[in-house]
Amino acid sequence: MQPIPAPHQTGNNYKRQALTAMINPGIQKLQPYPFEKLAELKAGLKIPQQRRHINLSVGEPRHSPPSFIAEEILTHLHGISRYPATRGELPLRQAIAAWLTRRYNLASYLIDPDRHVLPVNGTREALFAFAQCIIDATEQSCVLMPNPFYQIYEGAAYLAGAEPWYVPQGPNESYLPDIDSVPNAVWQRCRLIYLCNPANPAGTVMDRAQLQRILELSDRYGFVVASDECYSEIYLDEDDPPPGLLQVAAQVGNTEFSGCIVFHSLSKRSNVPGLRSGFVAGDQQLISNFLRYRTYHGCAMPLHTQAASGKAWADEEHVRQNRVLYRAKFDAVIPVLETVFSVNRPAGGFYLWPRMTTDDRDFARELYRRYAVTVVPGQFLSRRVSGYDPGANHIRMALVAPLDECIEAAHCMVKVAGALDGEGNN
């Protein structure tokens, strides 16, 4: 009898290796996530034992969420015995439609809970999945995004088989996307543009005229506008909230929201990032197709989460109190940073985006090594294009820690900047 050959002596092993290599080519294009880069930057560093770690790197709200959210979850836990519908329960969709109507001063008939609204498990997965739903990988399409940007936009483009096109923000002081820099040939290939309004990380807000310009380009070239508005409820001026894409679309007569999709979340608004609750709203046909996609995707929102979410969208008092807390942090931190850095008070969001003369990676490393404060180097949130990196010489600090920690971190940053400046001049 012939001996049975070992697996490595047959072609099976090679076949397995070939099958393992048969993955979406977009996977190979994905860069390490910013926090992976940050962990590598800090690897091997030992912080002083007497210092507490102050983490300002992750945009994870730490203000207390309203108590009624947990109460609603507990009250509706019996819902775990049922499969939730992908489109969400009608009461949640009605609460979302009512919030959109109030928040953006829309006519009462414009947002139909059945046609224009789809609950999702946080905006992150929805922003990513949306590109997979609408991009035809055979078209060699472009997906435009601001630079710096939320990394999900880039990953969504690559995994959908499209080419990311980075629209620079800066070096001008506005930190707004330079739409005029996009060549006509790129607009012609564009199938989707991601906006972030207010912006992550700079906190800038696109005004009505700028959003209208994007809508005009969308009409001319036929691409979809996806507006990530998850920071929309944290803003500087209580009397001047950031405008929304659907609001501007309605004002210019696009009352069907053609080509427009917005993404909203409770994570920042209500301090519940672990709830994983948000929604997508806009163009009826896009919502219908995205619902079909998500039905196969298998990502329905649990019923107890829906119940809690509906209550959260209906209440504004806890959101106003949240804004007061963030304003107090900006009031305390910015004067400290201004002594050394170039820093703007953001119109929206809870990030600061100070500019410095030293390398942002060196600064972040030294800040952690000397004072146990973690921030994100700007280069980890951007891409270098044509020799220019709009994230270079910036750091992102999320003012999510308690007020005293934010103030302490600001003073530590000033000390590190001075030390690195002195070392550079020697």
Q: Which residue has the tokens 């146990």?
A: 372
Q: Which amino acid, residue 316?
A: E
CA distances from 249 to 110, 115, 242 (A): 11, 17, 14
CB neighbours of 135 closer than 8 A, spacing ≥ 6? 141, 143, 157, 160, 161, 162, 191, 192
pLDDT for 101 equals 98
pLDDT for 9 equals 46
Q: How far apart are CA 184 and CA 190, in angstroms?
A: 10
For helices 360-371 and 403-425, give the axis angle rounded to 10 degrees. Answer: 120
pLDDT for 17 equals 60
Q: How far apart are CA 114 and CA 93, in angstroms?
A: 7
Long-range contacts of 109-117 (CB under 8 A, 24+ apart): 110/250, 110/255, 111/246, 111/281, 112/284, 114/90, 115/284, 115/287, 115/288, 116/257, 116/281, 116/282, 116/283, 116/284, 116/287, 117/88, 117/93, 117/279, 117/280, 117/281, 117/287
Q: Up-side HSE of residue 102: CA atoms within 13 Å toward CB?
A: 11
Instruction: Give domain 26-64+318-425's CATH superfamily.
Output: Aspartate Aminotransferase, domain 1 (3.90.1150.10)
Q: Which residue has the tokens 């034992």?
A: 49
Low-confidence stretches of the chain (pLDDT beneath 70):
1-22, 170-173, 424-426
> pTM for this structure?
0.93
Closest CA to 229 of 116, 90, 127: 127
Q: Which two tokens stand for residue 418?
A: 């001075």
Q: 118 exposed, middle or buried (CB, 10 Å; 0-12, 13-18, 19+)?
A: buried
Q: How far apart are CA 405 and CA 50, in angstroms?
A: 15
pLDDT for 405 equals 98
Closest CA to 262 of 381, 407, 152, 118: 118
pLDDT for 169 equals 87
Q: How far apart are CA 385 and CA 379, in angstroms?
A: 12
pLDDT for 2 equals 45
- For the domain spanning 67-315, the CATH number is 3.40.640.10
CA quadruple 262, 156, 269, 115: dihedral sign: positive
- How many residues make up the chain in this entry? 426
CB-CB contact of 35 with 364 (8 Å): no
pLDDT for 4 equals 45
Domain assignments of the chain as residue spans, ordered by start: 26-64+318-425, 67-315
Of all helices (H) and strands (E), which one includes residue 193?
Answer: strand 190-196
CB neighbours of 155 closer than 8 A, spacing ≥ 6? 26, 30, 128
Q: How far apart are CA 72 and CA 160, in angstroms?
A: 37
Q: How far apart are CA 165 and CA 148, in angstroms?
A: 12
CB-CB contact of 79 with 307 (8 Å): yes
Q: Which two tokens stand for residue 139?
A: 């078209």
pLDDT for 34 equals 95
pLDDT for 136 equals 93
Q: How far apart are CA 243 and CA 166, in angstroms?
A: 23
Q: 18 exposed, middle or buried (CB, 10 Å; 0-12, 13-18, 19+)?
A: exposed
Q: How far apart are CA 237 and CA 8, in angstroms?
A: 68
The tens digit of pLDDT for each residue in 271-305 reads 999 999 999 999 999 999 999 999 998 889 999 99
pLDDT for 13 equals 64
Lay out the sheet containing 278-282: strands in order across. Answer: 117-120, 278-282, 260-265, 224-228, 190-196, 142-147, 163-168
